[in-house]
Amino acid sequence: MFQSSMYGECHPDLESEYIEQEMKNLDPSFNWSFQFILEYARRNNEICKVYQGYIPSNPDAVVTMSWSSDLLKIVDSNGLEIYNADHDYHFFTRSSAINAYLDPRSCAYPFTIGSNVYIRELQSRTPEDLAEIYPDIFKHVPSIAEIIDSLRTMNVNMGGVFKLTQDTLKTKSDITARSELSNKLYTESINGRIAYMGTYNNNAILIDSTVYEDNGDIISLLQDSLGIGDNQICEEFLESDSITRIVIEDASKESIEVVKQISSEIMKIMVPYSVGSDTEALHKKIASSRSREH
């Protein structure tokens, strides 16, 4: 029953305690409380529902979210106002963070989603927290099996949850073991130092860092690992985003492919819910905007 349930809806006779144990065997640190918060937001948060209703039929749209004087707006690249409503800043910051985690196309710097303060906070939530946040759903502190029961009432695809976990664990293992460069770039992304990494024009590498004037360790490792010369690298500070951009010009085809692979793997880990797991399409969209900025 468990194996068949991994390809669709859970069999009604499959006990949630069994699902709990199987996930514990796969990933002992998996947080079911965080999973519940994500799935609940996907179905009930206004901002998440707006994106889910608009983006699938407009996959190439560049959508921006802004807040001013308690007015939250969502506008697409053609100036079409998709959403307009009064919300406080607390709602704006938290909704935009969780929406970006579920759909990274709503974030200018998707690598920073995983290190977002609010996402980190949610990832540490416990069953005790769920009882406080959702008192109408959990009348007492729920067991893990009861949280899974609630997810099943939402028709959450458990097979999708398990596959996503398996894929993320494998990608983490691969990227940290492959080379000193891939491990370094992954670690600095997890720490929130690297905001984005990609390529453009098929001959340049671009890395956006949240650290100002102290990126020598990354630059040195890139040079040693990819054979990059001093005359190929430059840094520029983007004051509007408080980002330091490292640009490597005239990069070899081999270097481009190395960075593409590492970047795609980091994206899969940092934003595992990227729509349809189409990280390549997401990269192309972001890289296009980066190229115009550069």
| 180-234 pLDDT tens trace | 999 999 999 888 889 888 888 788 999 999 888 789 999 999 999 999 999 999 9
Last residue of a domain, one of 113, 131, 156: 156
Residues 178 and 276 in one domain: yes
Which token pair is 165? 């976990």
Cβ neighbourhood burial of 258 (10 Å; 0-12, 13-18, 19+): buried
Residue 206: inside a domain = yes
Residue 24: inside a domain = yes
Residues 230 and 145 in one domain: no
Residues 253 and 134 in one domain: no
Residues 103 and 176 in one domain: no
Last residue of a domain, one of 115, 130, 156: 156
- Provide CB contacts within 8 A for 47, sequence distance 6+: 65, 72, 74, 83, 95, 96, 99
Residues 112 and 149 in one domain: yes
Residue 219: inside a domain = yes
Residue 165: inside a domain = no
| Digitized pLDDT (tens) for each residue of the chain, 294 residues in all | 555 555 556 667 789 999 999 999 999 999 999 999 999 999 999 988 888 788 777 777 777 788 888 899 888 877 888 889 999 888 888 888 888 888 776 666 666 776 678 888 999 999 999 999 999 999 999 999 999 999 999 998 888 898 889 999 999 999 999 999 999 999 998 888 898 888 887 889 999 998 887 899 999 999 999 999 999 999 988 887 788 999 999 999 999 999 999 988 888 888 787 644 444 555 555 555 554 455
Last residue of a domain, one of 125, 156, 187: 156
Residues 35 and 152 in one domain: yes
Task: Give whole-number Cα distances, 88 to 49, 50, 52, 93, in Å.
Answer: 18, 18, 22, 9
The DSSP H or E segment spanning 152 is helix 144-153
Write out the residue range of the structural domain in which residue 287 sits: 171-293
Number of independent structural domains in the chain:
2
Residue 127: inside a domain = yes
Residues 141 and 178 in one domain: no
